[in-house]
Amino acid sequence: MQEALLQLATPTGLMLVLLGTTLGVFVGAIPGLTGTMLIALTLPLTFGADPQYAMTLLISIYVGAISGGMISATLLRMPGTPASIVTTFDGYPMAQNGQPERALGLGIMASVTGGLISWCFLLTLAQPIARYSKEFGPFDYFSLVMMALVLIATIGGKSILRSLFSGFLGILLAMPGIAVATGETRLTFGITELNDGFQLLPVLIGMFAVNQILRDIIDSAKPQSTTPIATQGLALRISDIKNHGLNLIRSSLIGTWIGILPGIGANIGSVTAYSVARSTSSNPEKFGTGCEDGIVAAEAANNATIGGALIPLVAMGIPGSVVEAVLLGALVIHGFQPGPRLFEQSPELVYTIIFTCLFANLAMAGIMCCSIRTLAWLTKIPRAFLLPIILTFCVVGSFAMSNRLFDVWVMISFGLLGLFLETKKIPLAPFVIGFVLGPIAEENLSAGLMGSDGDWTPIFTEPKSLAFLLIAVLLLTIPVCRSRYRDWRSQS
């Protein structure tokens, strides 16, 4: 442990943390570019480097990018990853109401707290916690995904019916391509490029960024109604810690705990935490209009999923997300054997990973706090300069992910679809979450049904699976019951 710390504390080590985090924040904040892409592109550059330094750089990028996603989500309503969609719910309205600095400040505070809490678990309890991830069977995963879908439908819009429609439309559009369970191609209509289905990145960029850019362009023809930016310094007060303390800790724990589950965690950690925050809030109707609790819950959980997702990676060699699959590959290329014995075979590497996570979180906080002023100024750049550049980033980003223009066309089409859906008052967040989780739900349901010989009852008889369904029902009904109760009390 000391060795890892000593190597990290050298000027080179700290430089790499700073460089990686800055790059990550920067790239994560640009709509169209993502941390995954930057890590995949940087990986070959690190082959010649010392493996510990290589991992330091890559993990710093990872931490920076997840946090950077908050910036574009808050200021421009263009989330860079599915995980930061939830941040747009309250961050964007707040920034639009003239408080971009406060919104960002709260987000940074929550991100750091989330990162640090999950880091504590990563450091102390990685081994025992990782074991619990293997207890999850296919039906448990399926119910967890269904829970997340129901939750997003309740928090993403005003009408549950429209949200559900949007979610299932997302699931449907994730279906073309090769079926996970059977390996058959379906719904491709003979278009060979569709063999791989629609990719997440172009769909996400299209739905949010391209749609939002077109909307901004259309709006720019109208007389500008610029809201003055409130200047209140960093906009954080000591009392914030007291007011949001409970929410911070709860959301971080939820993020860590869900982040541990491979393949799902990063996407639904923030959805779940947001939903819990809303259900337990005394004024849930404020969520979605620029509510502080909403930003805090989303960002704390968001960053907590990183620490959570690193737990199975270092303890068992199981990647929790696409980024981590790339990190795992980096380990292999540098001659390590990720797996249950990584801890005993190369402890110095494991501790490098763990402590980088800590340092990168701190570096991220520093960088973001310093640049918050400049960032808020972003909203003032003339649109004629800003929008075409963001659009070009989107085109290049969609293209570079797998080097084909087909993805760029997909991006444009989904941009138009997003614009259409929003003018029909259909929320987009359930669509994207459905798009991401649909295939996971199908894969696990198929695996479960194969194991049970086509029997569906284990969904309700497996304890964990049942628990998730109950939590979903609970979170759905609590807000309704509470408002009924309040009505009843005010009447009597």
Query: Could you say which residues in the range 263-322 bind other proteins, by CB under 8 A?
Result: 263, 316-319, 322
Residue placing its CB nearer to other proteins in the complex, 255 or 338: 338
Q: According to CB under 8 A, which one of 34, 46, 81, 133 is a site residue for other proteins? A: 133
Cα three-residue angle 159-296-304, rounded to 5 degrees: 105
Name which of 33 and 70 has its Cβ closer to other proteins. Answer: 33
Smallest distance from other proteins to CB 453, Å: 7
* Closest C-alpha to 220, from 97, 93, 383: 383
403 binds other proteins (CB under 8 A): yes
Least distance (Å) between residue 431 CB and other proteins: 11
User: Of 151, 138, 143, nearest to 467 (Cα)?
Assistant: 143
- Binding letters toward other proteins, positions 211-250, x by CB under 8 A: ---x--xxxxxxx---------------------------
Binding pattern for the stretch 163-202 against other proteins, x by CB under 8 A and - elsewhere: -xx--xx-xx--x-xxxxxxxxxxx----xx-xxx-x---
Please provide residue 232's backbone torsions phi and psi, each rounded to the nearest 5 degrees.
Answer: -130, 45
| Piece in contact with other proteins (CB under 8 A), picked from 144-152, 234-242, 279-287, 442-450 | 442-450
Rounded to a whole number of angstroms, the minimum distance from the CB of residue 36 to other proteins is: 10
Select the span of 64-72, 77-85, 132-140, 282-290 touching other proteins (CB under 8 A): 132-140
Q: How many residues does the chain have?
A: 492
CB of 203 to other proteins, least distance (A): 14
Q: CA-to-CA distance for 211 and 67, rounded, in angstroms?
A: 23
56: Cα separation from own chain's centroid: 21
Question: How far is the C-alpha of 473 from the C-alpha of 454, rounded, in Å?
Answer: 25
Which residue lies nearer to other proteins by CB, 342 or 376?
342
Is residue 172 within 8 A of residue 203, CB to CB? The reply is no
- For other proteins, the binding residues in 358-387 under the rule CB under 8 A are 382-385, 387
Between residues 249 and 400, which has the closer beta carbon with respect to other proteins?
400
Q: Kindly state the helix (H) or strand (E) to which residue 22 belongs, with its residue range.
A: helix 11-29
Using the contact rule CB under 8 A, the part of the chain among 8-16, 248-256, 265-273, 409-417 near other proteins is 409-417
Q: Can residue 467 be called a binding residue for other proteins (CB under 8 A)? A: no
Instruction: Give the distance between the most distant pair of CA atoms in the chain.
Output: 74
Q: Which of 224, 239, 374, 423 binds other proteins (CB under 8 A)?
A: 423
457 binds other proteins (CB under 8 A): no
Those residues whose C-beta lies under 8 Å from the C-beta of residue 464, and which sit 6 or more positions away, are: 135, 136, 137, 140, 143
Is the CB of 103 or the CB of 316 nearer to other proteins? 316
The amino acid occupying position 71 is I
How big is the site for other proteins, counted in residues (CB under 8 A)? 106
Cβ contact 74:96 at 8 Å: no
Q: Are 193 and 359 within 8 A, CB to CB?
A: no
Shortest distance, position 375 Cβ to other proteins, whole Å = 19
Least Å from the CB of residue 136 to other proteins: 7
Considering only CA atoms, give the Rg of the chain.
22
Segment 60 to 79, residues that bind other proteins, using CB under 8 A = none
Token digits of residue 334 = 């540098």
Instruction: Specify the DSSP element, H or E, that contains 251.
Output: helix 238-259
The angle subtended at Cα 269 by Cα 432 and Cα 151, nearest 5°, is: 60
